[in-house]
Chains A and B, each alone.
Chain A
């Protein structure tokens, strides 16, 4: 039974579940650091998923699809940036409004543009290919799980160390964090909070849009109404549980995805769906509470350095 559950297909499945959450959560993390509570990830991911499928359908090219997804994500986050930064609006109210807008707009555009309802699946939609990295993909276990995936998977995984360095080892990262923690102090030093906050929110839009593209062109090759199905909210939680630190966010997303994939396997062995549905949340919470002390010390070390 052990071999039947813990095989490479399980970790493969977990990786696919993790990447959209991770991409969106990294975006939410940058916003958090800049002092903007980014709660529109769910809607941006959905809009990104829709635009990616639309772009791929029109251009017969998944790369164009990803660009469409990123553009749609940035467009929605531009509204969020304008509302919260320029107009000093409440980011929670605006975020919820944008989530509803994305759900309504994609549901409306689906029949308008493609004359279908519910699900849009078409041979013209070019999915993201799995790209095996020569050499690395041959490593037993790790290879097929991590190094035989879509381009967006590699982008997401490389962003974790890249953002770590960016946030804690570069002047721009320092200023971004300064804007989030002490906006007034940053301003007196000539750092414009407006510019940094706009940058952070637009970046999060691009990343959450990319998350949507991975969902609708990578995980599956189709769009279904409201297909983000709460993954954006999980990303919001991952930002909080991971204390807006790249490593923490990765840990939260990975744990969540692994618990979800495990849940699917356990269901086959008779565990009720009600339990497996709750499993990702329970496991993630328990693990983070258990690891809290060590984890907090580790994060404090890296952030104060």
Chain B
């Protein structure tokens, strides 16, 4: 068993070095191009968020004629082993994603000051000089969703079902309410928190919470529950209210009931941050919002993408135009969305 594993590892290394050599031959810059290694906290599988990180890493390597690899982790122990294996190869940049890796990123970046790291979606309290964090300004996208809800609500009641009552998640719920009230100040907002033992993966509890908010008359409810979101979408289908997703395009999960999503464009963030690191211009923490195209909603995508998204907002071109104008206003600074996390 152990022997066959070694053989397999050797074969993989051989294959990768062949691929690397092949890339090197084709690329103009040859082997001088940058090398990147992407380490995931979990298997990529159908996880859109992790897949976007890989797409971004690949894009940087290809644009600059360099090489890239992905190390997929499955559990705590091989997360560390994978990052250490990446450090051993001393690539120009190691790309890490999500808060699952924050402690390892902090520890290992301090232990290896000559290795450049990128950490996406989170940041330790005092990052080392060689650790560059890319975080999102989630509140800007949430505000745009709020504008949609404000336009579409008939009961003048909106709400959010949120995993936990923490400042970070108020970026979603508070900004959603602000966006809706920017359309009509009389709109009422209700926020409930899933809580319990397992707030990020308890669809049954989230569904009951969503039903309780709907029973108060809310017809547009923002689902900020990660793995619990499926329960909120079920409630939407059952009670006929409309919902909004997070992180990636969740519209296909409940066709006709999801208006739009507050998306994190991880690939764009990786590309911009990695290039800055390679140029030596990266700061320790970079926040990406609408201006940097690091966050967004489906309504800001190209018309073709929007038409294929199964998002309800595609049926309202007038609101899409309004949301796009609001995006420009946020980028210009005409609209300032307060940040509940640092505000």
Contacts and interface: CB of A to CB of B under 8 A. Distances in A.
Contact of A117 (B46, B193, B209): B46
B231 interface: yes
Q: How large is the interface on A (under 10, 10 to 19, 20 to 34, 35 or more residues)?
A: 20 to 34
Contact of B198 (A9, A220, A229, A267): A229
Contacts of A224: 201-203, 227-228, 230
Interface in A266-293: 267-268, 272-274, 276-277
Contact of A13 (B197, B211, B228): B211
Given A222-B230, A277-B196, A116 B204 contact: no
Interface string B215-258: 11000000000111111001000000000000000000100000
B207 interface: yes
Contacts of A268: 159, 190, 192, 212-213, 216
Interface string A1-35: 00010010100010011000000000000000000
Interface in A201-242: 215, 219-222, 224-227, 229-230
A276 B216 CA distance: 17
B42 interface: yes
B216 A229 contact: no
B43 interface: yes
A179 interface: no
B113 interface: no
Interface residues of B, number: 36
Nearest to A262: B212
A111 interface: yes
B195 interface: yes
Interface in B286-336: none
Given A220-B204, A227-B202, A119 B197 contact: no
Contact of B227 (A9, A221, A225, A272): A225
A115 B201 contact: no
A276 B204 CA distance: 17
Interface of B: 42-43, 45-47, 159, 164-165, 190, 192-193, 195-198, 201-205, 207-209, 211-213, 215-216, 226-231, 234, 253
6 contacts: A115-B46, A220-B204, A224-B227, A229-B204, A264-B208, A267-B212
Given A119-B203, A121-B253, 11 more contacts: A13-B212, A16-B204, A115-B46, A117-B47, A118-B226, A118-B227, A226-B198, A264-B209, A264-B212, A274-B195, A277-B195
Interface of A: 4, 7, 9, 13, 16-17, 111, 115-119, 121, 215, 219-222, 224-227, 229-230, 261, 264-265, 267-268, 272-274, 276-277
